[in-house]
Structure 1
Amino acid sequence: MLAIGDKVVYPMHGAGVIQAIEEHEVLGERQLYYILTMPFGGMKVMIPMQSVDNIGLRDIIAEPEVQRVIDILQTAPVPVNVSWNRRFNACLVKLKTGSIYEVAEVVKNLMSRDQVKKLSTGERRLLDTAKQILVSELVLVCRRDPGSVEEWVHDLCQENTPGN
């Protein structure tokens, strides 16, 4: 069971800290909720305790696992020659897994693609979401501020971009 102070990842939203456990009535039903505070903008999210297993809430990665994220970001992306909507859907599937490694792949691939050819509006939003998810977890794992982590991720991805 999760406790106040635990650092967790909520797939498609990012990482945060459980600030409280509160009872709320929603649609006439009273139940307990984890109150999760996200590092970006201090957004608060209510997660029903009974739904935790179904939504894929997980603990943040351990500090030694950051190296695997770095390795993914520094590895050259594999060129994908499919339509933008197939790329978009493939990226969305990866984000929904909640895996930081899958999210890092999405960030790397979309950032690289953006260097070669500007992303569509949908892919740009997907990249922004993926970066926010990735950075939010790395902020909590590495105990650094969001700005420096975002710059670090950008620099790591630049290392694998052709022509840099």
Structure 2
Amino acid sequence: MKQTAFEPGDRVVLPPYGIGVVSSICLRPVAGEDHAYYQVDFPNTSSRAFVPVASPDIAGMRAALTAHDMPALLDSLKTSRLNLPRQWAARHRRVTEILVSGNPFELAILTCELRRWNVERGLPDLDRQAFRRAIKLLEQEVSGLQDDGAHDVQQLLVHAWNETPQAVAAD
């Protein structure tokens, strides 16, 4: 997943914007000097971003997941544990850090833990919003991959999205 040099056509993630595609490398003037930038276009929108070629990591840009990453992602979604604080303010800070990071493996661990909480007892509104945001971010990351592992991840995410707490399901 670690990559620092990108080529046109590469799928990348640029938090908080999501999945984009490097469409070109261009020169743009800044303070009278030309600097090289990746032009990142975001599918299904007219949005684009320019990320310095010299430091894409500072902007948070990283390579998107590939089919090779799917088994580990699926395992994280199924079996991970995360010790989230019970106190709401501390939990909210931790969850927000994970969501903002955009790290798919951290998102998968958070999704697994919130899914467990949702099934066991239901989620309060803000935790449910975070759970759904994590699912959406992971769905974005996996979309476009044509692989059995990606399909399995997508199916698990759809299932998690539609699950109801056991107490509610029993009524």
Q: What TM-score results when the alignment is normalised by the length of structure 1?
A: 0.70
- 1:100 is displaced (CA, Å) by 1.0
Q: Which residue of 2 aligns with 1:113?
A: 117
The C-alpha deviation readout for 1:24-70, integer Å capped at 9, x for no partner, is 6789997554332334x435231331551212211122312101111
In structure 1, distance between residues paired with 2:79 and 2:51: 38
SS in 2 for 1:140: coil
Aligned residues: 160
Q: How does 1:71-110 map onto structure 2 within 5 Å?
A: 71-75=75-79, 77-78=81-82, 80=84, 82-110=86-114
Matches within 5 A, 1:7-86: 7-22=11-26, 32-39=36-43, 41-42=44-45, 44-49=47-52, 50-75=54-79, 77-78=81-82, 80=84, 82-86=86-90
Give structure 1 stretches of 5+ with no counterpart: none
Distance (whole Å) between structure 1 residues aligned to residue 153 and residue 28 of structure 2: 35
- Checking the alignment, whether the CA contact within 8 Å between 2:84 and 2:94 is kept in structure 1 is no
Q: Secondary structure at the match of 1:52?
A: coil
Does the C-alpha gap of structure 1 residues 77 and 53 become closer, same or farther in structure 2, counting only changes over 3 Å? closer
**Structure 2: runs of 5+ lacking an equivalent:** none
Residues in 2 aligned to 1:112 and 1:28: alpha-carbon distance in whole angstroms: 54
Is the Cα contact below 8 Å between 1:19 and 1:37 reproduced in 2?
A: yes
Contact 2:13/2:64 (CA < 8 Å) preserved in 1? Answer: yes
User: What secondary structure, in the 3-state scheme, does the structure 1 residue paired with 2:143 have?
Assistant: helix
2:141 equivalent in structure 1 = 137
Equivalent-residue separation in structure 2 for 1:36 and 1:48 (angstroms): 8
Q: Would you say the 8 A contact 1:10–1:56 is kept in 2?
A: yes
Change (3 A) 1:143 1:9: farther
Kept in 2, the 8 Å contact 1:12–1:133? The answer is: no
User: Residue 23 of structure 1 contacts residue 31 of structure 1 at CA under 8 Å; is this kept in 2?
Assistant: yes
| Bigger-Rg structure (1/2) | 2
Mapped to 1, the partners of 2:28 and 2:118 lie a distance apart of 43
Structure 2 letter corresponding to 1:46: A
Contact 2:81 2:113 in 1 (8 A): yes
Q: Percent identity?
A: 22
Classify 1:142/1:16 alpha carbon distance in 2 versus 1 (closer, same or farther; 3 Å): farther
CA distance in 2, matches of 1:82, 1:15: 32
